[in-house]
Amino acid sequence: MSQANGERLDSWKEIATYLGRDLRTVRRWEENGLPVHRVPGGERRAVFAYRGEIDAWMKGQGNGSSTQGGVNGALVAERAPAESATVAVPVGAGARRPRLRVSANSGLFVAAVVCGLGVGAFLLWRTSRGPVAQVAFSGNAVVARDGKGDVLWSYPFDTPLNPGPDSPKDRIQVMDLGSDRQRDALVLAPFASAELEPSLNDALFCFSANGRPRWSHAFKDTFRFGGNDYGPPWVAWSLAVTSDRSSPRIWAVARENLSSLSMLMEFDRDGRQLAEFVNWGHIATLKGVRNGSGSYILVGGISNQCNCAMLAVLKEDSPSGSSPPLEPAYACENCPEGRPYRYFLFPRSELTLLSGVAYNSVQLIQVDKGHVWAGVRETNNGGFPGADWIKYDLTYDFVPKSFTISDHFWTFHSQMESEGKIRHTVGQCPEGVGPRRVQMWSAERGWEWISVPKSTER
């Protein structure tokens, strides 16, 4: 088996993890032809498999699915084989029904029953309920409801969900991704365990309007920085969709749970991975922007190169690459080629340093009336993007032209004065006078310092 056909998986657990299924399901799939090999002379449980063979087998199951290749070959379609198809069942309000498992031998009988007895009931169900209005997690399932709150369908996962107390809010988006004008659901399923087991990673699912999983992607990549490998477990963080209905682009962020790494992946409506951007630091927010020069993806969060806030500006037609390094140790050795259009590092404020916060972070990106705003959270005080923020106003060519500071920033400053942590008054504080020095990277000029003045607007 050549390396081109994929890496070897050396246990039932590794095979099940790669497929995103439990051990019982994978063993059943072997009986239906899943290419699993056994070590000569070993016990029955001493097995191995090759990713390339598994991908080829999944592609040939004849249910309209295909295994899509992507950056690092990590994309695996979440499809059961034709002999044991899993169907999400539409249910009435307040009722719970298990998923149906339809064998190939009973398929004709079931089809006859549905055609003879169930068509009228199904049409009545479809006309009595509206489109998908809300999708949410419930236990270990994802549940879709209409505008009245009635359950339309429910899809239980084989792997337990572990959302955790700090799980992001934008894990699910409901929108029309196809020409059928039906409401599809994009779901970031939180599989990564609280124990941070590398075998469990979050995954992105796309469900059709009737609850069938159209495709999925498990985040499994490994990247090398400074001679060290960084990878699973990955925690999926946020979603965004850009472009028009005819060609939507899906953007998903995943964070490496044991270090500072994060990645942004781009998919088309059919789950094909198109691009990947890797950042040395956690990504917190995304925003699509269009102007006279083109379409861009703005990526905000943290850079661990300086323990400070960062903003990456990616061209939508060429977003792949990695964050530009300040020194060789921060250069990615196996990331996709490419760099951002712009990349900014925003300095930590005095309040950030004195309040014991490890980082400031870009938490909010706004586009309004010719302005692009990057909101930097400076402390852990409440609110969103934080009570103590510094907001940078960028030109439409993405160059900072001024900054504004929140009122509560100065309230907190006065509080720290009274506690003896700051020995100058608000009026004497250099933060309020400016300018602020921001580092900017561009392909034309590399790294440079930009002096950003305080805004004169009220």
Query: How many domains, in total, are found in the chain?
Result: 2
What are the tokens at 353?
Answer: 């340093």
- Tell me what pLDDT residue 114 has: 40
Residue type, 73: G
Residue type, 31: E
What are the tokens at 39?
Answer: 């070590």
What are the tokens at 45?
Answer: 């449980």
Across 290-302, average pLDDT: 88
Query: Parallel, antiparallel, or unpaired for β 151-156 and 261-267?
Result: unpaired
What are the tokens at 230?
Answer: 């960084």
DSSP 430: G
- pLDDT greater at residue 259 or residue 186: 186
- Tell me what pLDDT residue 385 has: 66
Say which CATH number the domain at 33 has.
1.10.10.10
- Is residue 128 situated within a structural domain? no
DSSP 114: I
| C-alpha dist (Å) from residue 393 to 342, 363, 366, 399, 453 | 15, 14, 10, 8, 10
For residue 203, how many other CB atoms are within 10 A of its CB? 25
| Least confident window among 14-18, 19-23, 301-305, 423-427 | 19-23
Can you tell me the distance from the alpha carbon of 94 to that of 314, in angstroms, rounded to the nearest whole number? Answer: 45
- Tell me what pLDDT residue 358 has: 87
Sequence-separated (6 or more) residues with CB below 8 Å from residue 239? 170, 171, 172, 173, 186, 188, 204, 250, 251, 252, 253
| Least confident window among 104-118, 130-144, 204-218, 293-307 | 104-118
- Is residue 167 situated within a structural domain? no
Question: Could you tell me where the beta strands, DSSP code E, fall in 11-120?
Answer: 37-38, 47-50, 84-87, 100-103
User: For the packed helices 23-31 and 12-19, what is the interaxial angle rounded to 10 degrees?
Assistant: 90
- Is residue 31 situated within a structural domain? yes
- Tell me what pLDDT residue 357 has: 86
Sequence-separated (6 or more) residues with CB below 8 Å from residue 183? 131, 132, 133, 174, 175, 176, 209
Domain that holds residue 444: 281-458
pLDDT averaged over every residue in the chain: 78
Q: Which of 220, 205, 197 is nearest to 250 (CA)?
A: 205
Across 292-296, average pLDDT: 84
- Tell me what pLDDT residue 42 has: 46
- pLDDT greater at residue 38 or residue 34: 34
Length of the chain: 458
Which of 19, 35, 59 is at the close of a domain? 59
Across 171-180, average pLDDT: 79
| Least confident window among 106-120, 168-182, 219-233, 321-335 | 106-120
pLDDT tens digits, 119-131: 433 333 444 467 8
Residue 218 has pLDDT above 60, yes or no: yes
- Tell me what pLDDT residue 375 has: 93
- Residue 391, strand partner residues: 375, 404
User: For the packed helices 12-19 and 51-59, what is the interaxial angle rounded to 10 degrees?
Assistant: 50
- Tell me what pLDDT residue 129 has: 61
Can you tell me the distance from the alpha carbon of 285 to that of 256, in angstroms, rounded to the nearest whole number? Answer: 16
- Tell me what pLDDT residue 383 has: 66
What are the tokens at 342?
Answer: 């712009």
pLDDT tens digits, 334-383: 999 999 999 999 999 999 988 888 899 999 998 887 788 999 999 888 76
Across 280-287, average pLDDT: 92
- Is residue 249 situated within a structural domain? no
Among 73-77, 140-144, 193-197, 430-434, the range of highest mean pLDDT: 140-144
pLDDT tens digits, 387-413: 889 999 998 889 899 999 999 999 999
- Tell me what pLDDT residue 198 has: 60
- Is residue 192 situated within a structural domain? no
Prediction pTM value: 0.71
Can you tell me the distance from the alpha carbon of 304 to that of 326, in angstroms, rounded to the nearest whole number? Answer: 11
- Tell me what pLDDT residue 393 has: 94
| Least confident window among 24-38, 42-56, 64-78, 236-250 | 64-78
- Is residue 194 situated within a structural domain? no
The model's confidence at residue 451, banded by pLDDT at 50, 70 and 90, is very high
- Is residue 99 situated within a structural domain? no
- Tell me what pLDDT residue 237 has: 87
Across 203-225, average pLDDT: 91
Q: Which of 323, 318, 320 is nearest to 301 (CA)?
A: 323
| Least confident window among 47-51, 191-195, 307-311 | 191-195
Residue 253 has pLDDT above 90, yes or no: yes
Cα of first residue to Cα of last residue in the chain, in angstroms, is 67
- Is residue 1 situated within a structural domain? yes
| Least confident window among 135-144, 166-175, 369-378, 390-399 | 166-175
Across 68-96, average pLDDT: 35
Q: Which of 272, 265, 194, 278 is nearest to 236 (CA)?
A: 265
* 220 SS3 class: coil
Across 417-432, average pLDDT: 87
- pLDDT greater at residue 314 or residue 75: 314
- Which helix (H) or strand (E) is 102 found in, with range? strand 100-103
- Tell me what pLDDT residue 70 has: 28
Given a contact cutoff of 8 angstroms between Cβ atoms, the answer to whether 302 and 282 are in contact is yes
Radius of gyration over every alpha carbon of the chain, rounded to an integer in angstroms: 25
